[in-house]
Amino acid sequence: MSDPVKVLVVEDEFVTGLEIRARLEDLGYEVLGVVDTGEEAITKAEDLLPDIMIMDITLRGEMTGIESADIIRKKLTIPVIFLTAHSDDSTVEKAIQSEPFGYLIKPLDERILKTTIQMALYKYAMDKALIKSEKRYRSIAEQVDNAIIILNQDYSVAFLNTHAKKIFQMPDSSEVQHLDEVIPEELSIRVKDDLSKVFEENHSLKITHHFFHENAEFWFDCSLIPISIDIGVFQVILLLHDVTDMIKIEKEIEKKGIVQIEHNMEQFQILNDRIRNPLAIIVAAASLSDSIQNDEIIKQVMVIDELVCQLDRGWVQSEMVRRFLLKHYGHGKEIN
């Protein structure tokens, strides 16, 4: 069997404190003690480390139960259930600001007491699991070579990994509030358009953006992934990968390939001329006298000439391709 849940009670009315202890023990909980001031509640919480605390809002001494619970939440993260004889709106509002795990009204109902403790412990366990998961994913986000930015619907920054700061030359210690403070203006304008679509349609988007910044040319692959954080509330994970160097290399290879095509076509024109001129001389010489040998020579010259004509037709097609590449890619020069 698992160990019983350990409870620390903070109640300044002696009789009420004894009643709460008895009810808790009847329900199978282990009561570590009953204290009556906020100051003592903090000290005992640090010493005993209870699983949960039941805290009266109104206590003896200078510190209220709300103030004590706030300190305990920040220092020890122990879940606290508030207890009060008052249920007015102002009291509840003050209690909510300390993020309690439950709220009980005197006189206590044993069934409600048990349910409230069970719900508080469940919520606390879920919060711990969420924090652990968040730390794990944050650690992963810090290891990747992409800029990772999580954005709210007003383009404010909820998370920014270290690599994003490195890419955009930001100090590690810098705190940013808005997307405009992170990425260059031209890229920010385009990404905001993408974000508006993703928030509106709730669909992922992948796109490559080409932009200029400080007289330099850049290309970034952008992935935008919507995530739900609450009912009707979304954030977008923005992944940015710098592909500038890769695209520049591709363009250089493309350019060299087109230049090589132009060079080959120039050589091809020269070769055609060099073939046809000797052929014309051979035909002229063979036509000076009639003989079987000269007829055969002329016949073979015609075969060669037909092959050259076929090459010419291929050259015309190649020239059409070359002009297309010249028009659409902007490389090369006209061939006279």
Using one digit for the tens of pLDDT, what is the confidence trace for 201-242? Answer: 889 999 999 999 888 899 999 999 998 877 777 899 999 998
Distance CA 235, CA 192 (A): 13
Distance CA 294, CA 65 (A): 121
Q: Tens digits of per-residue pLDDT, 93-102?
A: 666 666 678 8
Query: If you write DSSP's letter for every residue of 124-150 in order, what string do you get?
Result: HHHHHHHHHHHHHHHHHHHHSSSEEEE
* Residue in the block written with tokens 């619907």: 153
Predicted pLDDT of residue 330: 52
Distance CA 257, CA 251 (A): 10
- Grade residue 177 by pLDDT with cuts at 50, 70 and 90: confident
Instruction: Tell whether pTM > 0.85.
Output: no
Q: Tens digits of per-residue pLDDT, 1-35?
A: 578 999 999 998 888 899 999 999 999 999 999 99
Of 60 and 279, more confident:
60
Q: Tens digits of per-residue pLDDT, 109-166?
A: 888 899 999 999 988 888 887 777 777 767 767 777 788 999 999 999 988 888 888 8
Predicted pLDDT of residue 7: 95
Using only C-alpha atoms, the chain has a radius of gyration, in whole angstroms, of 40
Predicted pLDDT of residue 234: 85
Torsion of CA 186, 191, 194, 195, to 10 degrees: -140
Q: Tens digits of per-residue pLDDT, 32-61?
A: 999 999 999 999 999 999 999 999 988 888
Angle separating helix axes 110-143 and 14-26, nearest 10 degrees: 80
Residue 247 scores a pLDDT above 80: yes
Structure tokens that stand for 31 in this block: 């009561």
Task: Tell me which amino acid residue 299 is.
Answer: K
Strand order in the sheet with 205-213: 157-160, 147-151, 233-242, 216-230, 205-213
Of all residues in the chain, what percent carry a pLDDT higher than 90? 32
